[in-house]
Amino acid sequence: MSDTSAVPATRAPRKGRMYRNAHWYVLSLFVLIFAGFFKTYFAKLPTTDVMLHLHAVTAIGWMVLVVLQSYFVTHGRASWHRAFAKLSFVILPMLMITGLFMLYDILTRDPLKPGGPATLFAFADLNSLFYLMVLYSMGIVYRRHVCQHQRFMVSTVFVLFPPAVGRIFLFYIPFSWTASLILAGIYLFSLVIVAVLMIRDWLDERALYFAYGFSFVYFLIAAVISPFLRDYAPWYRFCLWFTGQL
């Protein structure tokens, strides 16, 4: 009989870990959203355009849905999670459509100029809408991999970073901000948030999830591209085409 007493015990590989408190993290973002949009939306509710109200309602509705879904899946409410998931088929298209209306509003508020603030901020907004669709689609693809699925869906709230954080820079941080600097700050902030989440996963379970790696690369590419938009004629022509001025 062989002696196995000297063989060191090995730890069984750990399975992916879900965020049991992700709903609280997402809820905390409401503070960021409220601060960012207070001067341009919440303080002007009675005089705000109906389409902007619809956009705000769908954006907040999406965050609430992510909060509920995260809570359901981590607290044994799988049937509720599946039932509420169907709401995404209504809220997401509405968020995309109203987002495109907001994009049109940004580009038509003042006369368009090549490299002007409107064209740069329009890039951030259109980029966010595209990013949202990609994340949602990836979440559906990975729906059988619960930990990846949860991280992809939680990442969808990152689309609210650019508009909210940009306004916080502009209204609450005294500095001679330009549109290019605001975009750089937005993407740097987003990269830091994603990096922190990746580091936490690594420290907790020595694992790096594709969901966050994907987001990090995405924000990095956007950060690299955005400084060149000022002199990028095709983007200006796209903005003219989108608003019917071409």
For residue range 198-238, what is the model confidence (pLDDT) as tens digits? 998 888 878 888 888 998 998 999 888 888 877 788 999 99
pLDDT tens per residue across span 72-126: 888 888 889 889 999 999 999 999 999 999 999 989 988 888 888 888 888 888 9
Q: Specify the pLDDT at position 28.
A: 77
Which element (helix H / strand E) includes 25?
helix 22-37
Nearest to 22 by CA among 182, 150, 199: 150
What is the DSSP code string of 158-196?
Answer: GGGHHHHHHHHHHHHS-S---HHHHHHHHHHHHHHHHHH
CB 163 within 8 A of CB 124: yes
Q: Specify the pLDDT at position 150.
A: 85
pLDDT mean over 175-180: 86
Q: Specify the pLDDT at position 36.
A: 87
Secondary structure of residue 56 in the 3-state scheme: helix
* Rounded CA separation 15/33 (Å): 34
Mean model confidence pLDDT for the chain? 84
pLDDT at 19 over 70: no
Nearest to 195 by CA among 207, 212, 179, 183: 212
Q: Which of 7-11, 34-38, 126-130, 229-233 has the lowest mean pLDDT?
A: 7-11
All residues at 6 or more sequence positions from 170 whose CB lies less than 8 Å from its CB, including other chains? 177, 182
pLDDT at 174 over 90: no
State percent of the chain over pLDDT 90. 25
Confidence band of 3 (pLDDT split at 50, 70, 90): very low
pLDDT tens per residue across span 135-168: 999 999 998 888 888 889 888 988 877 788 888 9
Q: Specify the pLDDT at position 5.
A: 42
Q: Specify the pLDDT at position 179.
A: 85
Q: Specify the pLDDT at position 144.
A: 86
213 φψ region: left (φ > 0), alpha (ψ -120 to 50), beta (else): alpha
Where b means 16+ CB within 10 Å and e means fewer, 168-196 reads bbbeeeeeeeebeebbebbbebbbebbee
Q: Specify the pLDDT at position 141.
A: 92
State percent of the chain over pLDDT 70. 91
